[in-house]
């Protein structure tokens, strides 16, 4: 590419011109070391990623090292950019759910919930959402939070070489994924929460199965605690590593467990409640050493708090059995509650019989609603929810049409990755892995 | 504003406003003035009132965003604006120069800020003890290609943990001169967000030296989130018929 089209040409090209460099792309290490010694190069830049297994997905870290000490660290992202926000502008408001669920693939239900809450506020139907739909949303989000934190603990352990943490964490998450599959039909990319409610009611017997799953998850979580909390090696690796104090967190816009590890109990569920979180009894755990260890301990504690909410919501769901899970407005709600087939997708045979056999108007209405979608009054909203990784913000703009004019997701991992430099510089190379794991970035959400 | 837009604006104040009444009632506080027409579009489906579903009814739809609100804004909104008036008038900048308009819609406060005074407003919002919007949740852009002279909007979302409040700053700049002073000195969190907004919209944040693309490759031509940038995609052929890419299909507007 020519210098004109190179957006960052002025940054790199002039600076690196004429500097002797060599690339270590394999071969015998002694040859490489000899070459480095011959050049007398003092500045060693190591590219970690984007395909490095310890960087949590396709994150690229550029480390300048002096011996084992990291003197400069920069994060490079964009390797998983898929243009989801752009795509959403060409699909209806209902179809948008199927896109945003794919952003942060470990916490899909949070994107769905935030997007739907925002859409509902644009429509002005927030107060019309059935109670049961809100309860199901809370249930799904809290289960998802546990699942996401389990992956954070599991992969964090795996990256330090503790494979057992990984196997226990993923086995525990499997219990939750089974519940998701039972309720939504899919293990990820659910598209379950829709503007106006949820796609379908939870199936019979699901409540008992969730109770059983919770028992299983708690058992695995105890195992994780037993393995982790008393482990001297883990303590040595994580304590006083990757410290980021409160002032730095505020400046860098860091939220979630990282912010709470500095002692500030900021949680959107308490600060700006949505989905009726103010009516649930739960605590916001905080610690104040602001290091990797505290973030790990906080994630374990948050799992217990989430399961405490799940216990409460299960009782409410028991009481609200049989009430609607979709808003009553027939111009927004799709006309049929689909039944899940054996393939995980579904159809309502009764509804097909009605629209194909008896009612032309119902058929037209169904067709128009599904292909054209509903119109959303012009305006913009900002909706945030407490995502496992921090504050997820959704900025939705409508021009009065059937598609979002603009949908922007402020993903917490995207923002939190800005802290990589502060967390890693001055530390050891090995600590970089711990520090990045404690941010718990998911690159699907970072790059969108 | 063009004549076409003026006509549309008049029509909108009587009709279109009524269509979104429920939504506006749900969230708005305070009194409303005419809507702000940003575009007029022609399309096929969606004609209301005439019963026409043929798609050839000659739909003309007006795109109008909620316009400026008047006092009282309601709740703590008045308090925040009062403090801002005091600070900006006190510093010699003048509130009227810095804040172009105040929009209260769906329970959210939006301040339209002149770009020259953005950094000062942000500084006041962060530092004054009665404002204390200490947490910035980033910057993003919106492209309104038909809003002549104000095509590119940058949107800032601020949160006050101290007072439990949140508001939005909006800065509109023309496509011909898409520069906005950087807010990274006030909110370091905006660093990557500004790079992303440059990458996707081509808004140049001045006063910082490291405005590089962040999501797209460094040598990528164009800014993908702009409305004039095609979605891309290839036509799909099925049994002799061709389905065009999503952005080239006949659309419901």
Contact B105/A at CB under 8 A: yes
Boundaries of domain holding A30: 1-41
By percentage, how much of chain A surpasses pLDDT 90? 47
Same domain, A191 and A271: yes
pLDDT of residue A252: 92
Whether A406 is covered by a domain: the verdict is yes
The answer on A130 and A213 residing in a single domain is yes
In a shared domain, residues A16 and A79? no
Query: What's the domain count of chain A?
Result: 2
Q: Number of C-alpha atoms within 13 angstroms, CB side, residue B12?
A: 26
Average of pLDDT values for A209-229? 92
Tens-digit pLDDT profile for residues A150-176: 999 999 888 888 889 999 999 999 999
A115 shares its domain with A6: no
Distance CA A264, CA B251 (A): 48
Counting Cβ atoms within 10 Å, is residue A182 exposed (0-12), middle (13-18) or buried (19+)?
A: middle
Say if A51 falls within a structural domain: no
Strand bridging mode B152-160 / B135-143: antiparallel
CA distance A170 to chain B (A): 30
Which carries the bigger pLDDT value, residue A225 or residue B54? A225
Residue A68 lies in a domain: no
**Confidence (pLDDT) at B30:** 39
Q: Is residue A402 part of a domain?
A: yes
With cut-offs at 50, 70 and 90, classify the pLDDT of residue B203.
Answer: very high
B96-135: buried (b, 16+ CB within 10 Å) or exposed (e) per residue? eebbbebbbbbebbbbbbbeebbbbbbbbbbeeeebbbbb
> Which of A379, A401, A414 best probes binding to B when mutated, by most B CB atoms within 10 angstroms?
A379
* Mean pLDDT computed over B8-19: 44
Cis peptide before A50 (omega within 30 of 0): yes
- CA A425 – CA B34 distance, rounded (Å): 53
B190: nearest Cα among B100, B109, B126: B126
Strand, helix or coil for residue B104: strand
What is the overall mean pLDDT for chain A?
Answer: 86
Helix extents (H) in chain B: 3-14, 16-19, 21-27, 77-90, 95-98, 118-127, 190-201
Confidence band for B32, pLDDT divided at 50, 70 and 90? very low
Residue of A252, A381, A414 lying closest to B108 (CB–CB):
A381
Residues 167-226 (B) with a CB less than 8 A from some CB of A: 168, 187-193, 196, 210, 212-221, 224-225
Tokens of B151: 């095509």
pLDDT for A161 equals: 84
For residue B219, what is the nearest residue in chain A, using CA coordinates? A6
Strand partners, A394: A383, A409
Whether A1 and A96 map to the same domain: the answer is no
Per-residue model confidence (pLDDT) at position B20: 42
Domain of residue A159, CATH code: 1.10.645.10
Dihedral pair phi/psi, residue A294, rounded to 5°: -65, -40
Residue A211's nearest CA partner among A139, A259, A261 is A139
A27 and A163 part of one domain: no
pLDDT digits (tens, 9 = 90+) for A86-142: 999 988 999 999 999 999 999 999 999 999 999 999 999 999 999 999 999 999 999
Q: A87 in a domain, yes or no?
A: yes
The answer to whether residue A297 sits within a structural domain is yes
The β-bridge partners of A408 are A395
- Helix A131-159 / helix A108-123 crossing angle, nearest 10 deg: 150
Residue A64 in tokens? 């300048």
Secondary structure (DSSP) of A405-427 = SEEEEE-HHHHHGGGHHHHHTTS
The string of pLDDT tens digits covering residues B89-111 is 888 888 888 898 899 988 899 99
Count Cβ atoms within 10 A of the Cβ of residue A365 and give its class: 0-12 exposed, 13-18 middle, 19 or more buried.
middle
Cβ separation B137–A272 shorter than 8 A: no
One domain, residues A136 and A268: yes
Segment A193-209 mean pLDDT: 90
Q: Are residues A26 and A85 in the same domain?
A: no
Mean pLDDT of A299-304: 93
Q: Is the pLDDT of residue A344 over 80?
A: no
Q: How confident is the model at residue A255 (pLDDT cuts 50, 70, 90)?
A: very high
Angle between helices A131-159 and A292-319 (to 10 degrees): 150
Identify which has the larger pLDDT, A39 or A266: A266
* List of residues 6+ apart from A90 with CB closer than 8 A: A403, B231, B246, B247
**Residue A257 belongs to a domain:** yes
- Domain shared by A8 and A95, yes or no: no
Contact call for A127 and B138, based on CB within 8 A: no
Q: Are residue A126 and residue A13 in the same domain, yes or no?
A: no
The confidence band for A53, taking pLDDT boundaries of 50, 70 and 90, is low
| Whether residue A97 sits in one domain with residue A33 | no
Tell me if residue B100 falls in helix, strand or coil.
strand
pLDDT of residue B38: 65
* Per-residue pLDDT, A1: 34
Shared domain for A35 and A123, answered yes or no, is: no
- Structure pTM? 0.85
Residues A117 and A97 sit within 8 Å (Cβ to Cβ): no
Is pLDDT of B33 > 80?
no
Has residue A409 been placed in a domain?
yes
């Amino acid at each position: 590419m020519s210098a004109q089209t190179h957006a960052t040409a002025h940054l790199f090209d002039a600076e690196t011109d004429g500097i002797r460099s060599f690339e270590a792309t394999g071969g015998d290490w002694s040859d490489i070391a000899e070459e480095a010694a011959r050049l007398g190069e003092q500045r060693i830049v190591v590219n970690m990623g984007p395909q490095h297994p310890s960087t949590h997905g396709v994150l690229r870290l550029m480390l300048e090292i002096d011996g084992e000490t990291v003197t400069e660290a920069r994060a490079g992202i964009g390797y998983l950019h898929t243009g989801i926000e752009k795509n959403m502008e060409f699909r209806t408001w209902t179809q948008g759910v199927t896109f945003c669920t794919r952003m942060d693939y470990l916490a899909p239900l949070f994107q769905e919930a935030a997007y739907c809450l925002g859409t509902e506020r644009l429509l002005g139907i927030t107060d019309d959402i059935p109670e049961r739909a809100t309860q199901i949303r809370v249930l799904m989000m809290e289960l998802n939070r546990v699942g996401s934190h389990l992956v954070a603990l599991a992969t964090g352990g795996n990256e330090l070489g503790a494979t057992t943490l990984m196997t226990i964490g993923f086995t525990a998450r499997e219990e939750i994924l089974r519940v998701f599959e039972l309720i939504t039909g899919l293990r990820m990319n659910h598209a379950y929460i829709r503007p106006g409610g949820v796609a379908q009611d939870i199936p019979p017997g699901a409540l008992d199965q969730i109770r059983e799953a919770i028992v299983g998850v708690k058992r695995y979580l105890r195992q994780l605690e037993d393995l982790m909390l008393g482990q001297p090696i883990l303590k040595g690796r994580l304590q006083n590593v990757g410290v980021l104090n409160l002032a730095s967190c505020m400046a860098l816009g860091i939220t979630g467990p990282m912010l709470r590890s500095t002692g500030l109990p900021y949680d959107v569920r308490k600060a700006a409640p949505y989905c009726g979180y103010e009516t649930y009894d739960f605590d916001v755990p905080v610690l104040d050493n602001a290091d990797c260890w505290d973030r790990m301990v906080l994630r374990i504690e948050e799992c217990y708090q989430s399961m405490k909410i799940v216990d409460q919501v299960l009782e409410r769901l028991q009481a609200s059995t049989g009430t609607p899970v979709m808003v009553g407005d027939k111009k927004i709600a799709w006309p049929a509650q689909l039944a899940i087939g054996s393939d995980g997708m579904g159809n309502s045979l009764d509804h097909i019989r009605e629209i194909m056999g008896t009612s032309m108007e119902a058929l037209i209405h169904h067709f128009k609603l599904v292909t054209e979608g509903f119109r959303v009054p012009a305006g913009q909203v900002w909706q945030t929810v407490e995502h496992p990784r921090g504050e997820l913000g959704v900025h939705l703009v409508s021009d009065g049409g059937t598609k979002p004019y603009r949908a922007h997701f402020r993903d917490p991992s995207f923002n939190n990755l800005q802290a990589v430099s502060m967390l890693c510089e001055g530390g050891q190379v090995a600590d970089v892995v711990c520090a990045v794991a404690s941010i718990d970035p998911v690159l699907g959400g970072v790059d969108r | 504003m063009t004549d076409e837009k003026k006509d549309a604006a008049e029509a909108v104040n009587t009709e279109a406003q009524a269509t979104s009444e429920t939504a506006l009632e749900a969230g708005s506080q305070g009194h409303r003035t005419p809507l702000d027409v940003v575009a007029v579009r022609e399309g096929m489906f969606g004609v209301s009132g005439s019963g026409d579903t043929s798609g050839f009814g000659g739909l003309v739809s007006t795109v109008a965003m909620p316009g400026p609100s008047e006092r009282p804004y309601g709740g703590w909104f008045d308090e925040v604006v009062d403090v801002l008036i005091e600070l900006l008038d006190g510093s010699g900048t003048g509130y009227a120069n810095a804040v172009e308009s105040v929009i209260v819609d769906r329970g959210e406060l939006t301040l339209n800020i002149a770009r020259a005074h953005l950094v000062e407003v942000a500084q006041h919002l962060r530092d004054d003890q009665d404002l204390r919007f200490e947490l910035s949740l980033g910057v993003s852009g919106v492209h309104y290609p038909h809003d002549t002279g104000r095509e590119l909007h940058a949107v800032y979302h601020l949160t006050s943990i101290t007072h439990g409040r949140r508001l939005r700053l909006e800065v509109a700049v023309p496509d011909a001169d898409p520069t906005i002073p950087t807010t990274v000195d006030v909110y370091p969190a905006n660093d990557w967000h500004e790079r992303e907004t440059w990458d996707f919209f081509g808004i140049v944040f001045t006063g910082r030296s490291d405005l590089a693309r962040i999501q797209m490759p460094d040598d990528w031509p164009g800014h993908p989130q702009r409305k004039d940038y095609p979605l891309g995609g290839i036509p799909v052929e099925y049994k002799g018929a061709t389905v065009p890419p999503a952005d080239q299909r006949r659309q419901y507007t």
